[in-house]
Structure 1
Amino acid sequence: MAMVVVLVLCLLVHMEQVHAATYMVGDSGGWSFNTDSWPSGKRFRAGDVLVFNYDSTNHNVVAVGRSGYSSCTTPAGAKVYKSGKDQIRLAKGPNYFICNFAGHCESGMKIAVNAV
């Protein structure tokens, strides 16, 4: 019986991974200015992966909360990604990302994604 439970749990985990989608943030333009409207019309699910492609000498990706997104500020302890090819798995609920290079977030280099 325990073996059946383990098998069912393994199948459920596998099914969740199969349904995850991968999105290139900004599509062919990548993570850049005026990306804030990119999520419009897309349906995101928890577990989907956002791929941020950018020049790491000029940009970064910072995971922030609603306040950091609205004010374009990076709170202490925020996760900062700098590889230029970051892959970030979405958590259920609102997910906010900004570039914290001076003036970039204010120029629309930020996205808000709600994952169901």
Structure 2
Amino acid sequence: MSLMEGMCKIFFVLIIVLPLIAKQVSATQHVVGGSQGWEESVDLNSWASAQTFKVGDQLVFKYSSGLHSVVELGSETAYKNCDLGTSLNSKNTGNDVVKLNKVGTRYFACGTLGHCDQGMKMKITTVAGNAPSTPASDSDTSAAAFFPRSFPTFLLLSPLLILYFLL
């Protein structure tokens, strides 16, 4: 194989592999409440409605430990009524991470007495990892759009790349 053929093969592989890898590692960490964090003064639902949450993304709750906590509620009714007794889980480190691992709506509230009733709660909707974050006119046309972010792309490509270099 000549040097030129080798360079062409490497270039071809990079064109195929790099977009797939870039898409795979493009999960977003959403700091809840933005620069203000998980605080009573933040309109958390307005903040959440301005975000696009995708499977594979993470919510990062930053707050003063001991002053607040994060409770995930199991239903919209529990969310509306601030029924903290039905929580799915709770965190209280001040720097809590919640992975968004499936499509659907999730509900969060502060577990400190009275904070949820004062509005320190939010609901988010998670969409499929390969869903566009902007309207369809700006859709993703790369090969990476066909694979979910959680799919280990190298498992699909490894045998193909080995065969390509052997032939």
Structure holding more helix per residue: 2
Larger Rg: 2
Instruction: Report the secondary structure of 1:87's partner residue.
Output: strand
Partner of 1:92: 103
| Aligned-residue CA RMSD (Å) | 1.8
1:17, 1:47 within 8 Å by CA — same for their partners in 2?
A: no
Q: Which has the higher contact order (CA 8 A, sep 6+)?
A: 1
Q: Which runs of 5+ in 1 are unaligned?
A: 1-13
Q: CA 1:76–1:40 in structure 2 vs 1: closer, same or farther (change >3 Å)?
A: closer
**TM-score, normalised by the number of residues in structure 2:** 0.56
Matched, 1:44 2:44: no
Matched, 1:109 2:116: no
**TM-score, normalised by the number of residues in structure 1:** 0.79
Structure 2 residue corresponding to 1:67, chosen from 69, 77, 82: 77
Instruction: Report the secondary structure of 1:112's partner residue.
Output: strand
1:49, 1:88 within 8 Å by CA — same for their partners in 2?
A: yes
Structure holding more strand per residue: 1
Identity %: 38
2:78, 2:86 within 8 Å by CA — same for their partners in 1?
A: no
More deviation, 75-84/50-59: 75-84
